[in-house]
Structure 1
Amino acid sequence: MDNPNDVKELIPEFFYFPEFLENQNGFNLGQLQMSKEVVNDVVLPKWAHSPEDFIYMCMYIGTHTMENMIMFMDALFGGFGQMGSNAGKALFLCISVDLDALTDEKERKALEGMINNFGQTPCQLLKEPHPPRLSAEEVVQRLARSDTSTLNLFHHLTELKSFFIEGISDGVPIVKAVVPRNQSRSFMSQGSPEILVTTSLNCLIGTHGWLPYDKNISNYFTFIRDATVTNPKTQRNIGGPFAPGLEITSKLFAVSHDAKLLFSGGHWDNSIRVTSLTKGKLVGQHIRHMDIVTCLAIDYCGIHLISGSRDTTCMIWQIVQQGGVPVGLAPKPLQILYGHTDEVSSVGISTELDMAVSGSKDGTVIIRTVRKGQYVRTLRPPCESSLLLNVPNLAVSWEGHIVVHTSIEGKTTLKDKNALHLFSVNGKYLCSETLKEEVSDLCVTGEHIVMGSLQGFLSIRDLYSLNLIISPLAMRLPIHCISVTKEYSHILVGLEDGKLIIVGVGKPAEMRSGQLSRKLWGSSKRLSQISSGETEYNTQDPK
């Protein structure tokens, strides 16, 4: 490390791929010459508990390095630190030579050879320091001062507040609440509300107005209730009844990313139905499964939809688009996936990582490819009980981590009945955590797991350790669905009594409560909107 001619650089695997540190194939790598110790896995520093921990710390340190890259730039490449008194403070300098000032011909040719091989930097291009690069926290703080930006709730977990909205589905559980992430926005519609989609247990559809960044009101958001949900003459419903005796959960519904289409399963005729959210009419009906469809999921890009069924199969469907707008599903599935021996109970898909993941009542999780439908591997979450293990929920992170919720069938008490498990993108089992409640819905957002339970608790856990980050928020009633908005500004929670709870960063003491007056692009009128979520919801766990 002391030789200036010996240049070392970390390969990309140091920042994402822990498997390269392990001799998983058991190759004979020989012995050390002095101690005769067998060479096997890479010996990690003492501060790293595992290869995964080592890679995670490399990623964290890499972020710190990028924030301090300014010092490197000033010392090299003709920067501020190349000349004068600043050069003496630098630990190293690039080759910067004035060839015209050399009188020794041999020395000149030697330096020319070094320059041809290694290059050189100008003596000095900049006479002022580079502007510093903002850290992630500084960017958030700067954006928070803007009237058109949101606060990331995961950066302010100690400041969360909850507000409730009524009148959407009074007395009937909300089983789906989501703000689609890629709603089409023209220049003229900037600043106007987006769509928040809700679906109730009685098949009632709501498309509400949603603005997550109203800094002029106490709760930061504006919710504009869909007037059609309270008028029997204008109500929009999912066409066709559900199968008798089927538990209606959020897994039976998926919304296209442009908020135009609602996909639903669980129907008596084994179909996947496509409903227009704007017209409330059935625009597609696909019967390919041999039994009831039990779960649906859409990938991050909105290209593919995956379905699971009681017939033990999964199907990957292409979402058909016209002019960049989804209009339905292809007539035939892209892939039909086999392998389970019991009903498929949960699915997840990542087109970017070419991963289709399914969990079943047979206690297994199977990974296959999206493009070719090839089998990759089977995951078996650990369980000490001899009773049947079910996989009611799972989620795939952006980096491919697989979060699996398991429940032991037939166990009457909650003790040790439910657990959360984490697997790497390559199927390596990482850790588990026993749960004290029955999970009804979960999602992975960045480095966080957000879960809702039938016992009425909203939990936020760290993705890599599965540990609770904050104390669970008590919603007092069973939670039927949860989702995180695309800006990471709010968590939407659907309760059994039909209330929609909106959890976000609220600071009523610092903001003006009441009415918001907003001027829309292309309109000479001023639109007055009063948030329907002005009432704070008490999430303290009763003693």
Structure 2
Amino acid sequence: MESPADVKELIPEFFYFPEFLQNINGFDLGSLQMTQNNVTDVLLPQWALSREDFIRKHRKALECEHVSSHLHEWIDLIFGCKQRGEEAVEALNVFYYCTYEGAVDLDAIANETERKALEGIISNFGQTPCQLLKEPHPPRMSSENASRRQARMDTLPPNLFEQLDKLRPFKEVKRGIILLYFIRIRKNQNRSFIIQGSDVLVTVSSNGLIGTHSWLPYDKSIANYFTFTKDPTVANPKTQRFLSGLFAPGVDLSTQVLVVSNDGRLLFSGGHWDCSLRVTQLGKGKLVGRICRHIDVVTCLALDLCGIYLISGSRDTSCIVWQVLQQGEFSSGLSPRPVQVLCGHDQEVTCVAISTELDMAVSGSKDGTLIIHSVRRGQFLRTLRPPGESCLPARVTGLQVGMEGHIVAQTALEGHTAGKEKYSLHVYSVNGCLLSSVSLEEEVTALYLVPEYIILGTRQGNLHIRDLYSLALAVSLPLKVAVRSVSVTRESSHILVGLQDGKLIVVGAGKPQEVRSGQFSRRLWGSTRRISQVSSGETEYNPTETSGK
């Protein structure tokens, strides 16, 4: 490794696959010459806490500012102007002549022995890539310059998770929404909604009342600016929209049984008395689909990030993967036949999660297990059993899958007396390795994953943000009222929290500048209009010890 003639590059596994550092199969790799110790797993440096930590830090190093600022130099050496010629000599970037493209025409060599010898030399020394550039590659823009350019843009808000020390909660809705159970910021833009360029925030109350409110994106002219426009149909008895049908006994109307499609048009709901999975059109509040495939009540639903597949879990211990159809393909919004039927649990399925990109469907159950299947083939992959203090299984009460395949699960172990349950939080890698576990003092009622962090809302009325890998507590905000739902805007500029008493709390970074008149101008549809409902950031949320826990 120290010889200048020895040229090596790290294989891709150094940046994403920690399992290759472990001798899982127990192969006999011999012993060390000096100590005679058996060669087994790769020894990690002292700065790495585990194999997963080693790979994560390696990936961070690859993506750091120093590497980015020198990336053009590597391109010049491998593909650019320093691959050949005098500049290659000055850069000590010269290799054996047979390795260069076009240096040897093997087809023109008549002597078979000579041709095989050259093929062996090329195979041994390798081959340099094609030279793509004859001029030096320009350097990449530094993160500091990129930040300055972004700061001049009106439409790009600051990332909330880069300013965790400045979090502030702001109250937006005082009354009118009876009980906020579900919040969702739609990912796709659609001009048919209230304001062009706005997002839609979906709420469902304790009585099944549906609201589709307008959320106007960030404007840099006012710090923490946000505008929430309440759905006018919520207050008018003649235009109110409700979820149809009765819910089964023991089923709480919560985010576990409610999912909104990515285009913001359909609401999927479970928990109905007839064991059906129902589809409601949000625009009219009309029931457009009712599918019965489970033989018991649907207890949980989850939609993948792309909006392609929906997974449902039931008291019958099974899970079903459905394909979400585009508008007009099928009246119910779901494929009439299941894509996969997944089994394996011994008791009721309590929570599910799905990732199409990683081809994994995860389900948690009262039997204390997490089972992972593939989505496309329905193959069983592995079973995870979260650790606990007791030999009795702790039921899985919450589940989320991150973009890189991290599995986050909450478990609850019943105590000897009522109300003395013990809660724990666990995070696994995509390959089922337990990365961290922590005991919780509170019951988590809302769980949301973002890159690098986990957002937890608790029944005791607190909002916690924890590190995704170590589960260390980063920020805690007291809201004093039980949290029912948590969502993050697509720009990661605000956290939206629904409370038990019907309030919508918007968490932003920093304290907004004051607006004297309470109004300001903004261009909509090419003309200037007045918007009177400015960020309630002017009304900072200062909770008191109230009921509703």
TM-score range, shorter chain: 0.7 to 0.9
Structure 1 range deviating more: 453-462 or 214-223: 214-223
1:294 aligns with 2:302: no
- The question of whether the paired residues in 1 share the 8 Å contact of 2:351 and 2:399 is answered with yes
Query: Which residue matches 1:6?
Result: 6
Whole-Å separation in 2 of the counterparts to 1:239 and 1:30: 68
- The question of whether the paired residues in 1 share the 8 Å contact of 2:407 and 2:428 is answered with yes
Q: Which residue identity lines up with residue 162 of structure 1 in the other structure?
A: P
1:477 aligns with 2:481: yes
Query: Which residue matches 1:509?
Result: 513
1:125 aligns with 2:125: no
SS in structure 1 at match of 2:326: strand
Query: Which residue matches 2:104?
Result: none
Give 1:446's match in structure 2, choosing from 445, 451, 457: 451
Whole-Å separation in 2 of the counterparts to 1:118 and 1:328: 52
- The question of whether the paired residues in 1 share the 8 Å contact of 2:225 and 2:537 is answered with no
Post-superposition offset of 1:389: 1.1
- The question of whether the paired residues in 2 share the 8 Å contact of 1:313 and 1:338 is answered with yes
Structure 1 range deviating more: 257-266 or 143-152: 143-152
1:178 aligns with 2:184: yes
CA distance change for structure 1 residues 458 and 44 in 2, over 3 Å: closer, same or farther? same
Whole-Å separation in 1 of the counterparts to 2:135 and 2:421: 65
State, as a whole percentage, how many aligned pairs show the same letter.
Answer: 51
Whole-Å separation in 2 of the counterparts to 1:494 and 1:140: 32
Structure 1 range deviating more: 358-367 or 405-414: 405-414
Cα offsets for 1:467-498 (capped at 9, x unmatched) = 1112x111110001111111111111110110
Query: Which residue matches 1:232?
Result: 237
Give 1:166's match in structure 2, choosing from 159, 168, 173: 173
Query: Which residue matches 2:106?
Result: none
Query: Which residue matches 1:404?
Result: 409
Structure 1 range deviating more: 209-218 or 502-511: 502-511
CA distance change for structure 1 residues 9 and 526 in 2, over 3 Å: closer, same or farther? same
Post-superposition offset of 1:169: 4.0
Whole-Å separation in 2 of the counterparts to 1:513 and 1:326: 48
Query: Which residue matches 2:116?
Result: none
Give 1:257's match in structure 2, choosing from 255, 262, 269: 262
SS in structure 2 at match of 1:329: coil
- The question of whether the paired residues in 1 share the 8 Å contact of 2:319 and 2:343 is answered with yes
- The question of whether the paired residues in 1 share the 8 Å contact of 2:327 and 2:333 is answered with no
Query: Which residue matches 1:103?
Result: none
Structure-to-structure mapping, 1:382-531, within 5 angstroms: 382-412=387-417, 417-470=422-475, 472-509=476-513, 514-521=518-525, 523-524=526-527, 526-531=529-534
Whole-Å separation in 2 of the counterparts to 1:119 and 1:388: 56
CA distance change for structure 1 residues 538 and 210 in 2, over 3 Å: closer, same or farther? closer
Q: Which residue identity lines up with residue 183 of structure 2 in the other structure?
A: A
1:335 aligns with 2:308: no
Query: Which residue matches 2:152?
Result: 145
Post-superposition offset of 1:325: 10
Post-superposition offset of 1:173: 2.0
Query: Which residue matches 1:28?
Result: 28
Post-superposition offset of 1:240: 1.0
SS in structure 2 at match of 1:158: helix
Post-superposition offset of 1:417: 0.5
Q: Which runs of 5 or more structure 1 residues have no equivalent in the other structure?
A: 98-112
CA distance change for structure 1 residues 28 and 163 in 2, over 3 Å: closer, same or farther? same
- The question of whether the paired residues in 1 share the 8 Å contact of 2:321 and 2:340 is answered with yes
1:66 aligns with 2:73: no
Q: Which residue identity lines up with residue 66 of structure 1 in the other structure?
A: S
Query: Which residue matches 1:39?
Result: 39
Give 1:368's match in structure 2, choosing from 370, 373, 380: 373
Whole-Å separation in 2 of the counterparts to 1:71 and 1:234: 63
- The question of whether the paired residues in 2 share the 8 Å contact of 1:271 and 1:289 is answered with yes
Query: Which residue matches 1:109?
Result: none
Query: Which residue matches 2:385?
Result: 380
SS in structure 2 at match of 1:268: coil
Post-superposition offset of 1:150: 1.3
- The question of whether the paired residues in 2 share the 8 Å contact of 1:387 and 1:409 is answered with no
CA distance change for structure 1 residues 224 and 519 in 2, over 3 Å: closer, same or farther? same
- The question of whether the paired residues in 2 share the 8 Å contact of 1:388 and 1:409 is answered with no
- The question of whether the paired residues in 1 share the 8 Å contact of 2:191 and 2:197 is answered with no
Bigger relative contact order (CA 8 A; separation at least 6): 1
- The question of whether the paired residues in 2 share the 8 Å contact of 1:261 and 1:327 is answered with no
> What TM-score, normalized by structure 1, do the two folds share?
0.86
SS in structure 2 at match of 1:430: strand
Whole-Å separation in 2 of the counterparts to 1:447 and 1:25: 32
SS in structure 1 at match of 2:474: coil
- The question of whether the paired residues in 1 share the 8 Å contact of 2:222 and 2:513 is answered with no
Whole-Å separation in 1 of the counterparts to 2:307 and 2:129: 47
Whole-Å separation in 1 of the counterparts to 2:234 and 2:133: 71
1:209 aligns with 2:214: yes
Whole-Å separation in 2 of the counterparts to 1:325 and 1:443: 31
Structure 1 range deviating more: 55-64 or 26-35: 26-35
Post-superposition offset of 1:411: 4.9
Post-superposition offset of 1:248: 2.2
Post-superposition offset of 1:503: 0.9
Post-superposition offset of 1:334: 1.2
Q: Which residue identity lines up with residue 528 of structure 1 in the other structure?
A: I
> What TM-score, normalized by structure 2, do the two folds share?
0.86
Whole-Å separation in 1 of the counterparts to 2:455 and 2:318: 28
Q: Which residue identity lines up with residue 9 of structure 1 in the other structure?
A: E
Post-superposition offset of 1:5: 3.0
CA distance change for structure 1 residues 428 and 541 in 2, over 3 Å: closer, same or farther? farther
Whole-Å separation in 2 of the counterparts to 1:184 and 1:326: 20
Whole-Å separation in 2 of the counterparts to 1:49 and 1:475: 35
Q: Which residue identity lines up with residue 125 of structure 1 in the other structure?
A: E
Query: Which residue matches 2:321?
Result: 316
Post-superposition offset of 1:83: 8.9
SS in structure 2 at match of 1:275: strand
Cα offsets for 1:429-458 (capped at 9, x unmatched) = 222011110000101111110110000011
CA distance change for structure 1 residues 17 and 510 in 2, over 3 Å: closer, same or farther? farther
Whole-Å separation in 2 of the counterparts to 1:369 and 1:236: 37
Whole-Å separation in 1 of the counterparts to 2:2 and 2:23: 29
Q: Which runs of 5 or more structure 2 residues have no equivalent in the other structure?
A: 98-120
Whole-Å separation in 2 of the counterparts to 1:403 and 1:458: 17
- The question of whether the paired residues in 1 share the 8 Å contact of 2:81 and 2:133 is answered with yes
Q: Which residue identity lines up with residue 254 of structure 1 in the other structure?
A: V
CA distance change for structure 1 residues 464 and 190 in 2, over 3 Å: closer, same or farther? same
Give 1:267's match in structure 2, choosing from 244, 247, 272: 272
Structure 1 range deviating more: 524-533 or 442-451: 524-533
Whole-Å separation in 1 of the counterparts to 2:440 and 2:419: 8
CA distance change for structure 1 residues 92 and 484 in 2, over 3 Å: closer, same or farther? farther
- The question of whether the paired residues in 1 share the 8 Å contact of 2:290 and 2:332 is answered with no
Give 1:538's match in structure 2, choosing from 537, 541, 546: 541
- The question of whether the paired residues in 1 share the 8 Å contact of 2:324 and 2:335 is answered with yes
Whole-Å separation in 1 of the counterparts to 2:365 and 2:132: 63
Q: Which residue identity lines up with residue 22 of structure 1 in the other structure?
A: Q
Post-superposition offset of 1:124: 7.6
Q: Which residue identity lines up with residue 167 of structure 2 in the other structure?
A: L
CA distance change for structure 1 residues 390 and 32 in 2, over 3 Å: closer, same or farther? same
CA distance change for structure 1 residues 326 and 451 in 2, over 3 Å: closer, same or farther? farther
Q: Which residue identity lines up with residue 138 of structure 2 in the other structure?
A: H
